[in-house]
Structure 1
Amino acid sequence: MITAEALVKSYGSKVAVDAIDFTVEPGQVTGFLGPNGAGKSTTMRMIVGLDRPTSGRVEVNGRRYQEHSAPLREVGVLLDAKAANKGRSAYKHLLSIAATHGIGAARVREVIGLAGLDSVAGKRVGGFSLGMGQRLGIATALLGDPATIILDEPVNGLDPEGVRWVRTLMRGLAAEGRTVLLSSHLMSEMAQTADRLIVIGRGKVLADDSIDKIIAGATHSGTRVRTTERERLMAVVSRPGVVVSVLADGALEITGLTAEQVAVRASQAGVVLHEITSTSGSLEEAYIALTAGEVEYRSSATAGTGAQR
């Protein structure tokens, strides 16, 4: 478990993390989202003792990271896949880290196999591709068989098979009762992997809830209907709180009624429906809505247009 209470980090007059509170529970994958400059990396660095909070407190499994006698067995972390010694082989890199915690060579070989690095275990890390480096970073995070795992952009550089592997691995670790904190800018992948989200912007928590509740609260759901009797259907469903819009393809979008309610009213009125579908917002739409006013680095919509080559 990870708990943060009134956590603050300032660099001079710049407040990177502004008195945030959150809890990352075991048994589920928690996504950590926010625009560039939101404070995600600073927060993760404070969790694992790389940055000292200006004030407040953050604990992993009931203690501050630096208070654990064997931190690698408590929390596994991937913040920078390029941090490995480029002159060492993948096996020697993992073996040297394992030695600091009395972890044997058998576990090193186990995580190498788990990460799919058997064929390159003897190769120098400096020659690894970005995806191979990510796999090595994840293997390093799992080396101590920790109860808590923190991964920053773990699928960066991975091919589709690798992305699927990370997704399955994270969900499997959570199913074992471990605490998993996952940061990524890939909304589609986060939607398939995470159970819960913490969204921050400009150092403050903007949302902390299940994915379904965050999407429902930040977007609108409705019912898409196609019929040749549009006017009759619009009259049938008309009531206070119901909004009917005609879409570009001629279908109707109805908000304020569920698909079942629309179908019942159409049936009672004898209106034939050719299509009826429940619609809901996406995680990407919810994320953009939540962070719209919190983006620190924003490019111009017209930048580069008309540029000569």
Structure 2
Amino acid sequence: MIQAQSLTKHYGSKTAVDAVDFTVQPGKVTGFLGPNGAGKSTTMRMIVGLDRPSAGSVIVNGKPYHEHKAPLREVGVLLDAKAVHTGRSAYNHLRAMAATHSIPTSRVHEVINLTGLESVARKRVGGFSLGMGQRLGIAAALLGDPATLILDEPVNGLDPEGVQWVRKLTKQLAAEGRTVLLSSHLMSEMALTADHIIVLGRGRVIADASVADIIASAAQNTVRVRTPHTAALASLLAQADVTITNLEQDVLEISGLTVNEIGDRAAAAQISLHELTAVSASLEDAYMKLTQNEVEYRTGDTQTEAEVAR
């Protein structure tokens, strides 16, 4: 379990993390989301003692990280897959880590097999692809068979098979009762993997709920209608609290009425419908809605780069 209380980090006059409170529960995959600059990386670094909080506290499995006598056995961490001596082989890198915690060599072989590194285990890490580097980082995180996993962008650079493997692995680890904190910018993958979501924006927690609840909060009463009689249907349904958008020549998106209401009114007016579908919200929709006012850098701003620089 990871517990943060009023966790704060200042860098000079800038507040990177602003008195955040959250608990990452065992037995589920918790997604950790937020725009660039939201404070996710700083928070994860404070959890594992790489940055010291300016105020507040964070404990892992009942203690601050630095108080654990064998931290690799408590917390497995992937923050930067490139943080490896490029002249070492994957095997020697893992064996050196294992030696610091009296972890047997047999465990090194286990994580190499688990992460699919058998064919490159004796090769220098400097020649690894991005995806193989990620697998090595995950192997290192799993080395101590820890109760808590913190993985930052673990599928970065992986092919579809690797992405699916990470998804299954994190779910399996959570099902074993472990605590899994997973940070990613891939909303579609997070929707398939996470059970719970914590969202940061400008250093503060702006959402902390189950995936289902977060998606439900963004859901709108929107219906997609395909009909050769768009003008007639739009005129029939027009009222103050209904919004009608013409998406294509024969497609309307309607907010403010249910599928049943639209279908019943169209039938009564003898307007044929070729499609009548409730539009579901996605995790990406919910995330964009939550963070729309929390983004520091926006694509398509009217200012040019030169103007920003000035």
TM-score, with length taken from structure 2 = 0.89
Pick which of 257-266 and 140-149 moved more. Answer: 257-266
SS of 2:207's partner is strand
* 1:234-285 alpha-carbon deviations (Å, 9 max, x no partner): 5775677443333333222222333345445545665432111121233333
Instruction: Name 1:204's counterpart in structure 2.
Output: 204
> 2:211, 2:245 → 1: CA distance?
27
Q: Is the 8 A contact 1:216 1:281 kept in 2?
A: yes
String of CA shifts for 1:195-235, please: whole Å, max 9, x gaps. 22111121111111222332332453411112345466557
- The 3-state SS of whatever aligns with 1:207 is strand
190-199 vs 74-83, which moves further: 190-199
Unaligned runs of 5+ in 2: 306-310
1:103-136 CA-to-partner distances (Å, cap 9, x unmatched) read 1111111110111000011111122111111100
Structure 1 stretches of 5 or more lacking a match?
305-309
CA 1:33–1:232 in structure 2 vs 1: closer, same or farther (change >3 Å)? Answer: same
Larger mean CA deviation between 163-172 and 42-51 belongs to 163-172
1:291 lines up with 2:291 in the alignment: yes
Q: What SS class does the counterpart of residue 72 from structure 1 fall into? A: helix
Query: Which residue identity does 1:223 align to in structure 2?
Result: V
Q: Say whether 1:281 aligns with 2:281.
A: yes
Partner deviation per Cα, 1:10-35 (whole Å, 9 max, x = no partner): 12221110001111112221111112
1:173 aligns with 2:155: no
**Cα offsets for 1:135-156 (capped at 9, x unmatched):** 0000010111112110111111
Q: State the distance in 1 between where 2:39 and 2:289 align.
A: 18
Moved more, 34-43 or 183-192: 183-192
Q: CA–CA distance in 2 between the matches of 1:173 and 1:260?
A: 43
Checking the alignment, whether the CA contact within 8 Å between 2:227 and 2:272 is kept in structure 1 is yes
- Provide the secondary structure at the position in 1 that maps to 2:86: coil
Q: 1 CA distance for matches of 2:25 and 2:260?
A: 36
Write the mapping of 1:138-149 to structure 2, written as runs, cut at 5 A: 138-149=138-149
Distance 1:259 1:195, change over 3 A: farther
Note if contact 1:221-1:281 (Cα within 8 Å) is conserved in structure 2.
no
- Partners of 2:286 and 2:265 lie apart in 1 by 30
Kindly state the Cα deviation for residue 93 of structure 1 after the two structures are TM-superposed: 0.9
Output the CA distance in 2 between the equivalents of 1:261 and 1:299: 39
**8 Å CA contact retained: 2:33, 2:198:** yes
The whole-number CA distance in structure 1 between the counterparts of 2:101 and 2:33 is 32
272-281 or 47-56, which deviates more: 272-281
Shift, 1:78, TM fit: 0.2
Question: In structure 2, how many angstroms separate the alpha carbons of the residues matched to 1:248 and 1:228?
Answer: 11
Once the two structures are overlaid, the 10-residue window that deviates more, 241-250 or 12-21, is: 241-250
Counterparts in 2 of 1:68 and 1:249: CA distance versus 1, 3 Å? farther
- What is the rounded CA distance, in whole Å, between the counterparts of 2:301 and 2:57 in structure 1? 40
Which region of structure 1 is more displaced relative to structure 2, 73-82 or 27-36?
A: 27-36
Which stretch has the larger CA shift, 45-54 or 230-239? 230-239
SS in 1 for 2:248: coil
Q: Report if aligned partners of 2:34, 2:201 keep a CA contact under 8 Å in 1.
A: yes
Shift of 1:82: 1.0
SS at match of 1:83: coil
Amino acid at match of 2:175: A
More deviation, 48-57/238-247: 238-247
User: Quick one: distance in 1 between partners of 2:247 and 2:277?
Assistant: 14
Aligned residues with identical type, % of pairs: 66
Report the CA distance between 1:190 and its aligned residue: 1.8
**Within-5 A mapping of 1:1-309:** 1-218=1-218, 220-230=220-230, 233-234=233-234, 241-267=241-267, 271-298=271-298, 301=301, 303=304
Partner of 2:62, secondary structure, is: coil
| TM-score, normalization by structure 1 | 0.89
For the Cα contact (< 8 Å) 2:230–2:250, is it kept in 1? no
Root mean square deviation, CA, Å:
2.3
**Alignment partner of 1:88: what SS?**
coil
